[in-house]
Amino acid sequence: MPQSDEEDDYMNMVFEDAPKAPKHETSMQRAARKRKEAESRSRQKTKAEREADAIAAREEALATALPEDNKGFKMMAKLGFKQGDSLGKSEDARKEPIKIVVKEDKGGIGLESDKKRKFQETFEEARQAAKRAKEEEGDFLEERKQQQKERSAEKDLDNAQRTAERLFDKEAEEKGTPTAEDIPLQRIDICWRGRVRRRIEKQAEKQQKRELNNSLSSRLPTLAHEDEDDDHDTKTALGHDITPFYTTLENDFGHDDPDLAEFEALSVFERLERTLVFLRDTYKYCLYCGYQYPDAAMDGCPGVTEGDHD
């Protein structure tokens, strides 16, 4: 049976109806909350955080001039010094202390500015690109229309592929042959093979996650009890019921599928058209009529594309 992609994920521990915090906390709860808050406040910052903080504090202090309530300032003011003056008698004397630059690497002279220039160039390029895009605003509207078309085509393609699978399974059931689930991917028509493959991959991934969790816990000595008496439920809960995923993977995805890759590389419109034609040829089905015609002539259907059905 086709599985829905939105299969319930029991590994996900989100409780939608989790109990809300009580309106009034008890004294014990309050104490616990306070303790937690204090803990998070006094949490040791990581080394990197501390270093970053220290450098930030240094840079800030280096950028802040001494205030006028400084005792030295007051003494200087008595000699006629005002904020913004410089010392001595020459006019071009410095007003700011020499900048402190801590060199952190062995980069040669000019390397820093090279980097800066490169960064600026990239930045400039991005700016230019944005500018160009703005100038081509007319084309932009056109493009959006195209995008919308693509999205709708993609939706139709998905529908068409789902239908193809449904019809295949229906036929198989009637004939008593294996369903899509049980035949190798290669035997599925290229038009809808991608959809099946993606579903299997997704399942495999989920299984892999479960197994990984399982194997991790089993590697811990305290948890690694392979108890003979474990009943079925326990085994399921521990994930021991699953056959290791790599065996299945090995069989189905061991090698790439060049045909599929070629098909997937086509534009969405082309893929849609080929799938629609496939449905008509194989099952006498029209997606837009939503009807499986009894005869190959498909009498009554206006055409292959959606446009024909307007």
Partner 1 sequence: MATKREFDNEDGYQAKRVKTENGNGKVDAANNPYLAHWNEDSSYQNDFSGSGDLLTKFTRHATTAKQARTAEDGPQNPFTGRGLSDKYMSILKKRRELPVNTQRDEFLDLYQKHQILVFVGETGSGKTTQIPQYVLYDDLPQQNGKMVACTQPRRVAAMSVAQRVAEEMDVELGGQVGYSIRFEDKTSQDTILKYMTDGMLLREAMNDHNLSRYSTIILDEAHERTLATDILMGLLKEVVGRRPDLKLIIMSATLDALKFQKYFNDAPLLAVPGRTHPVEIFYTPAAERDYVEAALRTVLQIHATEDEGDILLFLTGEEEIEDACRKINLEAQDLIREDAAGPLVVYPLYGSLPPAQQQKIFSPAPPPTKPGGRPGRKVIVSTNIAETSLTIDGIVYVVDPGFSKQKVYNPRIRVESLLVSPISKASAQQRAGRAGRTRPGKCFRLYTEKSFKEELIDQSYPEVLRSNLSSTVLELKKLGVDDLVHFDLMDPPAPETLMRALEELNYLACLDDEGELTVLGKLASGFPLDPALAVMLITSPEFYCSNEILSLTALLSVPQVFVRPANNRKRADEMKELFTHPDGDHLTMLNVYHAFKSEQAQENPKQWCHDHFLSFRALQQADNVRLQLKRIMEREELELMSTPFENKKYYENIRRALVAGFFMQVAKREGSGKTYMTVKDDQSVLLHPSTVLAQSDEWVVYNEFVLTTKNYIRTVTAVKPEWLLDIAPNYYDISAFKKGDIKSALQRVSTKVARKDAEKGRR
Decide: is 114 part of the binding site for partner 1 (CB under 8 A).
Answer: yes
Question: Among residues 71 and 187, whose Cβ is nearest to partner 1?
Answer: 71
Contact 9, 206 (CB under 8 A): yes
| Stretch in the footprint of partner 1 (CB under 8 A) among 64-72, 196-204, 246-254, 267-275 | 64-72
> For residue 107, how far is the Cα from the chain centroid?
37
Q: Is 303 left (phi over 0), alpha (psi -120 to 50) or beta?
A: left
Distance CA 257, CA 186 (A): 8
Considering the rule CB under 8 A, would residue 13 count as an interface residue with partner 1? no
């399974």: which residue's tokens? 169
31 forms part of the interface with partner 1 (CB under 8 A):
no
Q: Rule CB under 8 A: which of 192-221 touch partner 1? A: none
* Rounded CA separation 274/263 (Å): 10
- Verify binding: residue 269, partner 1, rule CB under 8 A: no
| The one-letter amino acid at 67 | P
Binding range to partner 1, per CB under 8 A, among 88-96, 140-148, 193-201, 226-234: 88-96
Q: Does 88 help bind partner 1 (rule: CB under 8 A)?
A: yes
59 is written with which tokens? 């840079």
Residue 81, token pair as written in the block: 């010094």
- Under the binding rule (CB under 8 A), the answer on residue 48 touching partner 1 is no
Q: How far is CA 12 from the centre of its chain?
A: 17
For residue 171, give the amino acid letter.
E
- Pick one of 19, 80, 258, 294: the residue that binds partner 1 (CB under 8 A): 80
Binding site for partner 1 (CB under 8 A): 42, 44-45, 50-51, 53-54, 57-58, 61-62, 64-66, 70-76, 78-81, 85-90, 93-98, 100-111, 113-114
